[in-house]
Amino acid sequence: MTHALDIFTVVAVSAGSFFFMAGTVGLLRFPDTMTRLHALTKVDNLGLGLIVVGLLPRAEGLLGALKLLSVWIFVQLSGAIVSQLIAHVARREGRQT
Amino acid sequence: MAMANFLFGAAAFVLVMLALGLLSILRGPSDVDRMLSAQLIGTGGVAVLLLLAVVTDMPSIADVALMLALLAPFAAVAFLRDASSSQIKSPNASDRT
């Protein structure tokens, strides 16, 4: 049973790290601000989510697991709001030039 | 033990991806892109801290991750206030300078 949980952790954390790599590549390679925003706000939150899910079996008790989940949910909420605000400014700057 | 090494390696990998993401602060081209890179540090930093909290068996590091998740949107909001006060006023932000 612990073996299965270890494999689950390895798979989820590896996938999360992969998505962080994808987010960085997108940030550096995509052609304009909107696509870079797209790469960053979606892919990185997915990477963080996978890492959190992978760490859940190793959390210290129920409270530790809940704290991991709450960190993730908080990042989700703030990331969603901030990405909308950044897109608003980026669109106005684009209209100006 | 092997698991701790794996998680430590994952934390180092995500950290390297964050460092690569910092390149976009140098490249720009616009301030919005630089802000995106700071956003990447927010999300990725939380992931690194959560991984380290499990690896080093110090649950209090998860609280540090929570603090970082709290402070990252403040940086973005400060940037957006600055950006919106230096631009042409939009109709729904007319009385907020």
CA-CA distance, B30 to B50, in Å (whole number)? 31
Nearest residue, CB atoms, A71 vs list B66, B83, B90: B66
Question: How far apart, in whole angstroms, are the C-alpha atoms of residue A11 and residue B26?
Answer: 34
Distance CA B68, CA B43 (A): 9
pLDDT at A1: 67
CA atoms within 13 A of residue B30's CA, in its CB half-sphere: 21
Model confidence pLDDT, tens digit, residues B27-82: 877 778 888 888 888 888 999 999 998 888 888 888 898 898 888 888 888 888 88
> pLDDT tens digit string along B47-61?
999 999 888 888 888
- Phi-psi region for residue B57, left (φ > 0), alpha (ψ -120 to 50) or beta? left
pTM: 0.83
Quick check: B84 pLDDT over 50? yes
Q: Is B95 part of any domain?
A: no
**A83: closest CA of chain B, how far (Å):** 9
What is the residue range of B49's domain?
A: 2-84
Complex-level ipTM: 0.85
Contact with chain A for residue B33, Cβ under 8 A = yes
A17-32: average pLDDT = 87
Find all residues with CB under 8 Å of B3, minimum gap 6, and list them.
Answer: A6, A9, A10, A58
